[in-house]
Amino acid sequence: MVRQYCRWEPPQPGTFKLNVDGAIFQNQQSAGIGAILRDSKGEVLMAASKRESAVGDATSIEMLAILRGLQLTLHLGIQHLIIESDALTLVKEMQKTEPSMTLVGNVIRDTKELMSCFRVCDVRYTMRSCNEVAHKLARHAWQVTDISLWWGSVPDVIVPALWAERQL
């Protein structure tokens, strides 16, 4: 098996990138979401790990990660936002113009409504290896009671992943 590596790519100047991911903790019957917002220089503006209790499957938690990431960034006055997720099926569903008939259709509708608050807001697929920082934040939610937020700083749990991204 050939393992593909990729590198997180910064957005164009004036645009921000929000990477999100979800993780399910079967033995705790809960899940976690991770979100990281960066600018065109790769500087971290915000990082978050949030525990979620009522999540049934991987698609639901991945969708919730997008929604929560948007909720955390909406008040920042950002006009141009790219959201990256490693959930390909969900990204394709988000890119459709017609209403979603999936089980998470209502959350997709609510998320698209939040997206309309930005001048430009695109949801894009990224490979898992390019979304490692968001994944580590989602896994970190295992240790979080509700939410941990970092504004203008980074938690120790993602420092090695951020360093590795810069080396590729």
64-77 pLDDT tens trace: 999 999 999 999 99
2 domain-assigned: no
| Per-residue model confidence as pLDDT tens digits over 30-63 | 899 999 999 999 999 999 999 998 777 888 899 9
Structural domain includes residue 137: yes
**44 belongs to a structural domain:** yes
Structural domain includes residue 64: yes
On whether the CB atoms of residues 18 and 81 are closer than 8 A, the answer is yes
**20 within some domain:** yes
Span 9-34, pLDDT tens digits:
999 999 999 999 999 987 778 899 99
Pairwise CA distance, residues 140 & 36, whole Å: 13
CATH of the domain at 36: 3.30.420.10
| Residue 166 neighbours by CB under 8 Å, 6+ apart | 42
Range of the domain at 129: 16-167
Residues 88-147: pLDDT tens digits? 999 999 999 998 888 888 989 999 999 999 999 999 999 998 999 999 999 999 999 999
Residue 58 in any domain: the answer is yes
| Confidence (pTM) | 0.93
Q: Residue 73's pLDDT is what?
A: 95
| Res 1 pLDDT > 70 | no
**Residue 9 belongs to some domain of the structure:** no
Residue 152 counted as domain residue: yes
